[in-house]
Amino acid sequence: MNYHAPALVFGNARREGRGPLLDVVNPATEEVLGAVSLANSADAKEALAWAERGFGLWRKVGPWARSDMLRKIAGLIRERMPEIARLLTLETGKPIVEAELEVISAAEHFEWAADQARQLTGETVNSRGPGGRGLMTHEPVGVVLALTAWNFPINLSARKICMALAAGCSVIVRPAEEAPACVAALVQCCVDAGLPEGAVTLLFGTPEDVIAPLMAEPAVRKVSFTGSTRVGKILIQQSAATVKRMTMELGGHAPVLVLEDADVAQAAEAAALAKFRNAGQVCASPSRFYVHERLADEFTDGFVKVAKKLKLGDGLDRSVTMGPLTTSRQRDWAEAIVADARKRGAEILCGGGRPKGVNAGYFFEPTVMRNVDPESEILIEEPFTPVAPIMTFSDTEEAIGHANALEAGLASYIFTRSLTSATMVSERIEAGMVGINTCAVAIPEGPFGGVKQSGYGREGGPTAIHDYLNIKFTHTRLL
């Protein structure tokens, strides 16, 4: 298996945490991979001291040199992709091909951030009178706390680390404990590239021992969080005392609108492949499917056909196209929402439970259902599982109403051949990202984030770096 439990990283050096040991489990086999030593509150305090020291060093490095460093890190990520991807599959269960694409995407985020670092410029503001001038400059906010989820541990960590470094900030990374070794391998790329000691710090630990103490520290000036809306609200409350800047990428429940003039075959295949990617454990995953009644049967048949072709198994097998759910909690939730929908009259077209003959692993079949009651849990709460509910509508106004009915507003998807319909519907959809005839909305050059209770702030794209910068205005009267 060749799995070595990771350590904390303080000042570019590995060290063991002083908290308890936590087993890391392979979700495909339920075997223990190893044990990671968690940090305690004293470790968190020491980590912050290193991060403050690292900020003092890194902020003095000019933007072009920062850009060169980010490209060097990206090169190491690409070079070490096979091993990082292997760790990612062992810890999360996702198919190795998906894991490799995630690692490559992480490298692309560092390359994009390198470009953004070079574009940081000041601006001169005309003075109101003679003999004066105004100058607007950007300065890094300070120490950043990056809190990431287990579903895309490499990509989520990379987005936060690279943009913080591009701006001149130091960053403390606290990933989910379910996937520690792959993130440690990513951080090691940063260390081996030659970053100053403390520019990147790695912590594993419980919210009580690590996150709460750091949230109370004034020296932590910025937090970037990816996770549930419930936890996001707690962090927002904790941030108030020290007025931290926040980027919040919270939960989603993305609607898919298949309009009457859509290419049905293309829509069914694209939507199904996106839905079952990473076993449905994607914040921007299409998860509520509203199809024009005239197209419903053809769309559903195509969707089910894709679901039935998926091969479940251990993600290290390259022929596998869908792995297990990452945690037993997610499998329990999948069973609960299917049972609730079935109780309310839903028709299960394929899947619906654990695959027969599989005695280990958190596997759940790709599941498609129709005739789903509007009060079903799966249409109200984010599923985050490989369970797809298909509903119908008769006119576009009805579909838009369904799409905007929830407080989630991360992503949405529209399938249509009409530019007029695409423009009109996308403008009225309440979401931070809209895919038209595509489910690809997460790219380094595109701003990723939501509206309403899906959060605020953006990661990626040309504006993300500004969330890590303070604007300083200097007005000078020349004597």
Residue with tokens 């419930």: 230
Confidence class for position 126, pLDDT limits 50, 70, 90: confident
May I ask the CATH architecture of the domain 8-250+454-475? 3-Layer(aba) Sandwich (3.40)
Is the pLDDT score of 80 beyond 90?
Answer: yes
- Work out the average pLDDT over 101-116: 98
Cβ neighbours for 277, distance < 8 A, ≥ 6 positions apart: 98, 285
Give pLDDT, residue 2: 82
Among 129-133, 245-249, 426-430, whose mean pLDDT is lowest?
129-133
Confidence class for position 31, pLDDT limits 50, 70, 90: very high
Residue with tokens 């890391």: 24
Q: Is 163 in contact with 114 (CB distance < 8 Å)?
A: no
Q: Is 190 in contact with 34 (CB distance < 8 Å)?
A: no
- CATH for the stretch 254-444: 3.40.309.10
Percent of the chain past pLDDT 70, that is, above it, reads: 100
Cβ neighbours for 6, distance < 8 A, ≥ 6 positions apart: 36, 180, 181, 183, 184, 185, 202, 204
Based on the residue annotation, tell me whether 249 is a catalytic residue of this protein: yes
User: What whole-number distance in Å separates Cα of residue 292 and Cα of residue 298?
Assistant: 11
Q: Which one of the listed residues 111, 283, 365, 439 is annotated catalytic?
A: 283
Give pLDDT, residue 227: 95
Confidence class for position 131, pLDDT limits 50, 70, 90: confident
Among 183-197, 427-441, 465-479, whose mean pLDDT is lowest?
465-479
- Work out the average pLDDT over 255-283: 98
Task: Give the pair of three-digit tokens for residue 436.
Answer: 């038209």
User: What whole-number distance in Å separates Cα of residue 159 and Cα of residue 203?
Assistant: 17
pTM score of the predicted model: 0.96
pLDDT tens digits for range 402-442: 999 999 999 999 999 999 999 999 999 999 999 999 999 99
Cβ neighbours for 379, distance < 8 A, ≥ 6 positions apart: 288, 372, 373, 389, 391
- Work out the average pLDDT over 127-148: 93
Cβ neighbours for 370, distance < 8 A, ≥ 6 positions apart: 296, 300, 346, 347, 349, 389, 390, 391
Give pLDDT, residue 308: 98
User: What whole-number distance in Å separates Cα of residue 250 and Cα of residue 410?
Assistant: 8
User: What whole-number distance in Å separates Cα of residue 199 and Cα of residue 59?
Assistant: 9
- Work out the average pLDDT over 318-336: 98
Confidence class for position 121, pLDDT limits 50, 70, 90: confident
Nearest in space to 436 (alpha carbons), one of 451, 426, 447, 424: 426
- Work out the average pLDDT over 75-79: 98
DSSP of 39-68:
P-HHHHHHHHHHHHHHHHHHTTS-HHHHHH
Q: Which one of the listed residues 46, 249, 382, 459 is annotated catalytic?
A: 249
Burial of 16 (0-12, 13-18, 19+ CB in 10 A): middle
User: What whole-number distance in Å separates Cα of residue 284 and Cα of residue 256?
Assistant: 11
**Percent helix, percent strand, percent coil in the chain, to nearest 5:** 40, 20, 35
Cβ neighbours for 119, distance < 8 A, ≥ 6 positions apart: none
Percent of the chain past pLDDT 90, that is, above it, reads: 95
For the chain, the residue count is: 479
Give pLDDT, residue 30: 97
Give pLDDT, residue 1: 62
Eight-class DSSP state of 460: S
Confidence class for position 158, pLDDT limits 50, 70, 90: very high
List C-alpha distances in Å: 387 to 330, 331, 378: 11, 11, 8
Average pLDDT over the chain reads 97
pLDDT tens digits for range 226-240: 999 999 999 999 999
Give pLDDT, residue 61: 97
Give pLDDT, residue 477: 86
pLDDT tens digits for range 387-397: 999 999 999 99
User: What whole-number distance in Å separates Cα of residue 410 and Cα of residue 458?
Assistant: 11
- Work out the average pLDDT over 7-33: 96
- Work out the average pLDDT over 4-10: 93
**What contacts 24+ positions apart, CB below 8 Å, involve 224-227?**
224/144, 224/145, 224/146, 224/147, 224/159, 224/160, 224/164, 224/249, 224/457, 224/459, 224/467, 225/147, 225/249, 225/250, 226/147, 226/148, 226/149, 226/156, 226/283, 227/147, 227/148, 227/149, 227/251
Based on the residue annotation, tell me whether 283 is a catalytic residue of this protein: yes
Give pLDDT, residue 53: 98
Is the pLDDT score of 96 beyond 80?
Answer: yes
Taking the domains of the chain in order of start, what are their residue ranges? 8-250+454-475, 254-444
- Work out the average pLDDT over 81-102: 98
